[in-house]
Structure 1
Amino acid sequence: MAEYGYYSTGESFSVADPDEAWIMEIIGKGKSIKVDMKMLKSYPAEVRKVIKKLDGKTYFTDADFTKALTEVAGEPFAKQHGEALIQTLQKGEKGGVWVARMIPDGMVSGHANQARITTFPLDNNKSSLSSKNLGDIFNKGITTVYAADVISFARSRGLVKEGVKDEEFSFSDTYAPVEFGAARFSEIRVWSMFNKVNSGMKQYWDYVKGDIKHDARTGYASNRMPLWIQPERKVSPRDMMDFMRDHLENTELDMSKDFGAGPFGNPYRWRPLTFKVDGVEYLNERATATQQTGFSFISQMRSWLPREIGGIHWFSVDDAASAVYFPMYTSSTATPKLWSAGFGSMMEFNGDAAFWVFNQVSNLAYTRYNVIHPEIRQKIDQYEMGYLKNTAEVDAKAQALYKTNPEAAVKYLTDFSCKTGDDLARDWKAFYGHLFTRFMDGNIKQKDGNNRNPKVSQPGYGEEWNRRLIKETGDKLKYHGSSH
């Protein structure tokens, strides 16, 4: 990972070099709360008398311990003493349990803040290894590696049902079971990408909406999506960029279509993800494109080129649906100034910083999305298509330099990447000025030849929204007298 770089979403890691791509999922072993009276000598006698009923028992979560304490001592006692007892009795366990699987050639995979590895082949010293034999990891044909105690540890914690064989063991279903929120907020994002490259994904639609079926014997989810699928067409870097821009379009959950989208089809919902009305809990969809994205990137690795030239991070900041991915060659030894860490911060506005420039554009779009965003999308296409075309020329020039002077090639790619990034940030700042001028105050302005003042159109809210408004307000807004 130190050599090629890695990307983490918390529960899963994607690790790749020019020839292989792996998904690794790791979960810390956590802690145990073992009731040991010797550790409670400093507690009052009346507290120790109650706790003695649990002496020698072990709990693996705060909730389990609190439940047991409530059962023997009552809720007031548990509320008063539970947290302090947990702090005294808990013991962390070092290490983690993990599984790593190589994505087969010709397949695509994905993960979105939810572990997805289920069953896996056990150690056979041919295609699969446990950590006991980690020295053989570079042997040809190895496609699965896992912690030697990944199954036994789960059994020791009571996480595996009786009768489940080792070869049936599911990592995700055991350590990170998919519940409604995990499916609706996480798995649905993977489905959105899969659905764009494979026509057979409709069979998993109910699952990603949160309707999870379970096997009665194992307790595992039985209608999950596969870890990887075969795309029906070649996937390009531009495809990858657009996968990041999805709002569940062309599905029944299309975020631009329901009442929450407002009069201008805004496919975003402000947090929190869930809310209650009259005690009933509801949700806001969590699509791939989201307003609070800090940065995102597409890593392109081209094994046929020298290492210094073959890697490109297509990088962007803020909401991917309103941002441009520009090429940062991975051998670059510097960062574009306007994209650098410390050039502004979350609470320090800097009007030149790429982060703030792109946020200004996207947040303007949120005010009248179906009016403003099409113009942004047109600009995105113009830049990204130009970059994709331009990198072929950059590759060729870098290769020519590399033959005689690899350091000169790296400097050339660094200069190109930094200039491209900073030019984009400056251009996007000017673009924001154009958009603000054109769309401010709820109208649309168009330059009118050499006239000082523009042509102005007033599109209003649209027929559908006007009808909704009148349905709700009745005659309150009715105009009396001659109409205009």
Structure 2
Amino acid sequence: MKVFRFETFLIAILHALSLCDACTNVLVTPSASVDDNSLIAYNADSGNLMGMLYHYPASTNESGTLRKVWNWDTAEYLETTFGGIDILSNPKHQPDAKIDYGSLIYITLQRAKSAKEAIKTMAALMDEYGYASEGESFSIADRFGEVWIMEVIGRGEGKVGSVWVAMKIPDGMISAHSNQARIRTFPRNDEENCLYSHDVVDLAKEIGVYKSAKDDPEDLLFSFSDVYDPVSFMGARASDARTWSIFSMLAKDSSFEKRYEAYALGNDPTNRMPLWIEPKKKLSYEDIRAVMANHYEGTALSFDQDVGAGTYNTPYRARPLVWKYNEVSYHNERAVATQQTGWNFIAQIRLNMPPQISSILWFAVDDSSTSPRFPVYGCSTSVSEAYGGKGTQDGVPSPLLSFDISKAFWIQNMVSNLVYSRWKDSYELVKDKIKAIHDVFDEEIKYIDEQLLAEYDAKNEDELVKLATSFSVRSGDRLHKEWFQFYGELFARLRDFYLIEEDQDDPICNCKVGEAGFSEEWAQKIVDETADKYKCVDDDSVPDMSAIALRGFEDHSKRQRLGINKVTLAAM
């Protein structure tokens, strides 16, 4: 009989090779961070994902006991107990497979105590029960300081399990991946830093997607990514470009952005980026928050200035990702921060802390650029009701058509969707609010850590776990209430296309009611498209609204000079 409790390592999953369910991961090794701790950041992006936290109590695994397994993506019942090339990635080729990528996460979390043990556990599970998902990339970190990437794809029809490669990120380096397999060549005799399935090369030869080169008889130049998930235009532009944007923000090499710009644009698929890079400085949790909120701002892929961004310069587009006009295919840019995110987190693995509190999951639901995260200690035995629920891995469909104001997912979506419609006017307000919330949590974590360390007793951890759980639950509950209140404040400021600010000197509403109007660039687009359709015939009868457009009617004398009284003001 064995009791399992998640306390020693964290594992994050990315749909590495599938464009429809696109996600983004960042991995930071201990020596690359300011506090010598590992970090993993993850956005789970799909329109059918509802952001929730799940808790599974410690339990016994008695001999002969079978667990129920459902597919995390489809909720398909499998058993009681990256895209990529179609011949291997299509789950129909292993119709009897019992383990999907989500089940690999949950089952492995209950069994492994280190990153390397997690990799071997997942490989054994797939070999025994079959692999029921597409190609995937996994980010894995443990509390001993190791950070790994593992990439997996099924063996194909008639073959159980998967072929895979796992690489340890060198300490002091960072890595990232985003829906494109990234491991290329790999060492064959370095088990400390590289693990792989015994048939990873042989299978490729067998199915005809790889042939040994005359100058490489031992296949040392075999590339997992190039063979099992060759880079296409969209593989670079809609997937790996996100990794390019992250590396461009963080790389010590200042030439990185321009060097790989053509690759990110999809114009030079052979100029592949390295699997890891050295950062320009030791990275903080705040640095990773910033890269997970980026929309290609200031780069060749920026999309907040063209006509698709609208008058409010929003870096979002209506889906689908690829669309047609006059039988020609076009695409939207796919940034790290996106409206389709169901949930996201940044995991801190704190190497100098006792096992029970070595990990903190900074968790949020919805868009990673518009939603605040709250801290959850890894040993927590329950979660905030605002963030809790059941999901497809429990065989329960997510209630995506049941609006529930008690759930953080809906409130955070309300804020995000309001911001999308008024991006230029509102995003800075949201960023300031998120920073204020995170600053408070950061200070509270320092205080709570001191309390937890004072209570720590390796022989009796119950009180420690109780205190950590209580703080985590309260943090989620409090954030949910605060963000709902913030939605109301934001709505009051932005309603009806106004910009409304507090002004205690105004006798009407203690506020300034401004009208943002069009930017010069957007006004030009309207005039260029509509010519004289909206032109005022008699300019002399038109008040000078430019003096009042941005910050409202500042005082009574200005209204008098403009010849506008309270009655005409109300009419406008």
- The bucket for the TM-score relative to the shorter chain is 0.7 to 0.9
Aligned to 1:476: 533
Distance in structure 2 (CA, Å) of the matches to 1:22 and 1:313: 18
Aligned to 1:195: 248
The yes-or-no answer on 1:396 pairing with 2:450 is yes
The yes-or-no answer on 1:111 pairing with 2:177 is yes
Q: Tell me the amino acid that sits aligned with residue 6 of structure 1.
A: I
Q: Tell me the amino acid that sits aligned with residue 474 of structure 2.
A: K
Aligned to 1:306: 354
Aligned to 2:125: none
Matches within 5 A, 1:71-470: 92-122=158-188, 124=189, 127-128=190-191, 142-163=192-213, 164-165=216-217, 166-198=219-251, 199-202=254-257, 203-213=259-269, 221=270, 223-341=271-389, 345-403=399-457, 405-449=460-504, 451=507, 453=509, 454-470=511-527
Q: Tell me the amino acid that sits aligned with residue 143 of structure 1.
A: N
Q: What's the CA shift for 1:438?
A: 1.3
Aligned to 1:76: none
Distance in structure 1 (CA, Å) of the matches to 2:212 and 2:464: 60
How many residue pairs end up in the alignment? 400
Q: Tell me the amino acid that sits aligned with residue 411 of structure 2.
A: V
Q: What's the CA shift for 1:429?
A: 0.3
Asked if structure 1 preserves the Cα contact closer than 8 Å seen for 2:366 and 2:413, the reply is yes
Task: Choose between structure 1 and 2 for higher RCO, CA contacts under 8 A separated by at least 6 residues.
Answer: 2
1:181-216 CA distance string (max 9 Å, x none): 111111111111111111231211111111234xxx
Secondary structure of the residue that 1:299 maps to in structure 2?
Answer: strand
Asked if structure 2 preserves the Cα contact closer than 8 Å seen for 1:241 and 1:325, the reply is no
Matches within 5 A, 1:37-52: none
Aligned match for 2:155, one of 14, 21, 29: 29
Asked if structure 2 preserves the Cα contact closer than 8 Å seen for 1:352 and 1:426, the reply is no
Asked if structure 1 preserves the Cα contact closer than 8 Å seen for 2:265 and 2:301, the reply is no
Q: What's the CA shift for 1:373?
A: 1.2
Q: What's the CA shift for 1:342?
A: 5.3
Of the two, which has the highest radius of gyration? 1
Distance in structure 2 (CA, Å) of the matches to 1:473 and 1:212: 39
Stretch moving more, 160-169 or 229-238: 160-169
The normalised TM-score by structure 1 is 0.80
Gaps of 5+ in 1: 32-91, 129-141, 214-220
Distance in structure 2 (CA, Å) of the matches to 1:143 and 1:342: 37
Q: CA RMSD in A?
A: 1.7
Distance in structure 1 (CA, Å) of the matches to 2:163 and 2:320: 31
Aligned to 2:50: none
Distance in structure 2 (CA, Å) of the matches to 1:159 and 1:112: 23
Asked if structure 1 preserves the Cα contact closer than 8 Å seen for 2:261 and 2:300, the reply is no
Stretch moving more, 312-321 or 334-343: 334-343
Aligned to 1:13: 138
Distance in structure 1 (CA, Å) of the matches to 2:290 and 2:503: 35
Stretch moving more, 6-15 or 395-404: 395-404
Distance in structure 1 (CA, Å) of the matches to 2:390 and 2:493: 32
Secondary structure of the residue that 2:386 maps to in structure 1?
Answer: helix
Distance in structure 1 (CA, Å) of the matches to 2:244 and 2:375: 27
Distance in structure 2 (CA, Å) of the matches to 1:349 and 1:342: 16
Structure with more of its chain in helix, by fraction: 1
Aligned to 1:78: none
Stretch moving more, 459-468 or 320-329: 459-468
1:62-114 CA distance string (max 9 Å, x none): xxxxxxxxxxxxxxxxxxxxxxxxxxxxxx32111000111110000111122
**Cα separation, partners in 2 of 1:337 and 1:452, compared to 1, 3 Å:** farther
**Cα separation, partners in 2 of 1:310 and 1:452, compared to 1, 3 Å:** farther
Secondary structure of the residue that 2:464 maps to in structure 1?
Answer: helix
The normalised TM-score by structure 2 is 0.68
Distance in structure 2 (CA, Å) of the matches to 1:242 and 1:314: 14
1:236-279 CA distance string (max 9 Å, x none): 11111221111001102212122111000100112111112222
Q: Tell me the amino acid that sits aligned with residue 17 of structure 1.
A: D
Asked if structure 1 preserves the Cα contact closer than 8 Å seen for 2:247 and 2:277, the reply is yes
Secondary structure of the residue that 2:369 maps to in structure 1?
Answer: helix
Distance in structure 1 (CA, Å) of the matches to 2:307 and 2:168: 43
Distance in structure 1 (CA, Å) of the matches to 2:355 and 2:508: 55
Q: What's the CA shift for 1:390?
A: 2.1
Runs of 4 or more, structure 1, over 4 Å off, are none
1:3-54 CA distance string (max 9 Å, x none): 52311113200111021011000100122xxxxxxxxxxxxxxxxxxxxxxx
